[in-house]
Amino acid sequence: MRRGKKFMKLALLLLIFASILNVPTVLAEEVNPVEVWALLISGDSQATCSNDTQYMYHVLTEHYQVDGIIYLDVNYDRPGVNDVANKVTVRYAIRITLAEWADENDIVFIYFSGHGAGYNVKYGKKEGGRYDTSTSGYIDEGDEIKENGHWVGIDEALCIETEKGARVYDYYWDDELATDLNYVKGRIVLVVQCCFSGGLIDDLSGPNRIIMTSTNEKLVFLLL
């Protein structure tokens, strides 16, 4: 839990830096001032993931001025939660709600805590990840692992529990998330706290985006 709070403090510093470095000075006569929107997601009913997201909600509501928060949690009865977290509600929140709320002047802060899928190099096997089947003319993760003398790309994913306590997950693939984020205007600060999360950076990087992950693409960590 202590490690989770340290990671979130760094994430909030990124939010501050984004507001200082990337947002132009807002004059009183400007019609379209800078606004801050947030999406908080706990993808697992495990206490650590849900508690981390609840703490982030507490910090944003008590210590920051945020214009709107979408709070999704598999533990949907926690204080402040707007709806249950599942792949459908998360994608709707990004593609529809945030896309409607935010304009080019705004900051969009997205936080995810849960499990991740990818390729575990230590044990030489996929852990929820899948072989990259990109048809866009290039393979984003083309130099990730080597099998039978050939480099093979692996897609990473955010794991979202299908229902509270089920321990069964839907996979929100990196390519899907990349597509969804393109619907959102403004400056995106994305913070992902899960295994293999560094592998998302190849797919999600772009102008006006800050991405912070708790591991690189090949590492896992134990939830305390």
The DSSP secondary-structure symbol of 128 reads B
Pair of tokens at residue 65? 């001025």
pLDDT of residue 51: 95
pLDDT at 176: 95
- Predicted TM-score (pTM) of this structure: 0.84
For the chain, 224 residues long, give each residue's pLDDT as a single digit of tens: 455 656 666 666 556 555 544 444 444 445 678 999 999 999 999 889 999 999 999 999 999 999 999 999 999 999 999 999 999 999 999 999 999 999 999 999 999 999 999 988 888 888 999 888 764 444 445 556 777 777 778 899 999 999 998 889 999 999 999 999 999 999 999 999 999 999 899 889 999 999 999 988 776 654 43
pLDDT of amino acid 204: 93
Crossing angle of helices 2-21 and 47-63, rounded to 10° = 40
**Every domain of the chain and the residues it spans:** 35-213
Instruction: Decide: helix, strand or coil at residue 9.
Output: helix
pLDDT of residue 137: 41
Q: How far is CA 20 from CA 12, 13, 185, in A?
A: 13, 11, 18
Topology, domain 35-213: Rossmann fold (3.40.50)
- What 8-state DSSP symbol labels residue 51? H
